[in-house]
Amino acid sequence: MKTTTMIYPVFAFVTMTSGCCCKKECVESDVIYKIDFQNFNYAEIDTLLITNYVKGSNFITKADSFYNYGGLVGQNTSSEPKAINLSRELDVNKYDWQIKLGNTQTKYNISDFLVSKEVCTTCITGNDYYNKLTAYKINGVTQTAHSSKGGGNITITK
């Protein structure tokens, strides 16, 4: 009888707290998997040369680069931003990034990423946090990141 009496409170506690603190609704947004391009046609952005530079090197010390081909998400109309999935993730904590449009040779330098720690879930056992991209600079101009619990986006506007 004593064993059964102890099991109920333990079972209730485990059931109430099992969903907490597991970031199941939050995606870290300090790693970028896609870029939105506003006012571009698809031909301008179907090939991207993406180069990462040592953070704070003023785009002088190159670390790596890769080409990104295609990757258009969905059936974007001409008035919507064109979301491009990246073949590699962009880590905003380690590098500054340069996006070069293949057809036009136009360059966008992306740097000065501002990442904040936000509460994802509040639990009995304590809060669970995730990193949220809140701002960045494109060619020296500060931009507000479009972040949520579902991840972060960078938008490049022509």
What tens digit of pLDDT does each residue of 28-41 get? 566 777 888 888 88
DSSP reduced 3-state for 70? coil
What pTM was estimated for this model as a whole?
Answer: 0.74
Q: Which of 1-10, 35-44, 144-153 has the highest mean pLDDT?
A: 35-44
pLDDT of 135 strictly over 60: yes
Query: Cβ contacts of residue 101 below 8 Å, gap of 6+?
Result: 40, 44, 45, 47, 48, 107
Closest CA to 37 of 97, 85, 81, 95: 81
* Predicted local confidence at residue 106, as pLDDT: 92
Which residues pair with residue 55 across a beta bridge? none
**In the chain, where are the structural domains located?**
22-157
Q: Are the CB atoms for 28 and 146 separated by under 8 Å?
A: no
Q: Which has more pLDDT, 5 or 104?
A: 104
pLDDT at residue number 14: 47
- What pLDDT was estimated at residue 128? 75
pLDDT of residue 9: 54
Q: Helix, strand, or coil here: 128?
A: strand
Give me the pLDDT at residue 124, please: 76
Please state, in angstroms and rounded to a whole number, the distance separating the CA atoms of residues 25 and 127: 13
> Angle at the Cα of 57 (from 56 to 61), degrees rounded to 5?
140
Structural element, H or E, at residue 53: strand 47-54
Residue 111 has pLDDT above 90, yes or no: yes
pLDDT-derived band at 15, boundaries 50, 70, 90: very low
